[in-house]
Amino acid sequence: MIRALLMVIGLTIAASAAAATTTGSIAVSLTIYSRCAIARPDTAALPAVDCGKQASAQPRITQRVLSRDAQRHETARLVTIEW
């Protein structure tokens, strides 16, 4: 039993030493679009956001109605823009 335990500990140390000598690289690129245009053609529609004219840079826009006031004809909305 002790031999098996010592063998497991020795293999663990050898495996971690082998992993420490492994090298490699990861190719990553980051593109930051600095300008976003927000347009809201009408008050009932969600705002349109255009960032860098790239489809992958467009945010997700959601809208939720928080409350409605029938007497004043007002509606409170939460518009969330996520990148």
Residue 7 structure tokens = 């063998």
Residues paired with residue 63 on neighbouring β-strands, in sequence order: 79
The tens digit of pLDDT for each residue in 3-31 reads 888 888 887 877 776 666 667 788 888 77
- Indicate the pTM of the whole model: 0.41
The tens digit of pLDDT for each residue in 22-71 reads 677 888 887 776 677 888 777 667 777 777 777 777 788 888 888 888 78
- Taking the C-alpha atoms of residue 31 and residue 71, their distance in angstroms, rounded to an integer, is 49
Residues paired with residue 61 on neighbouring β-strands, in sequence order: 81
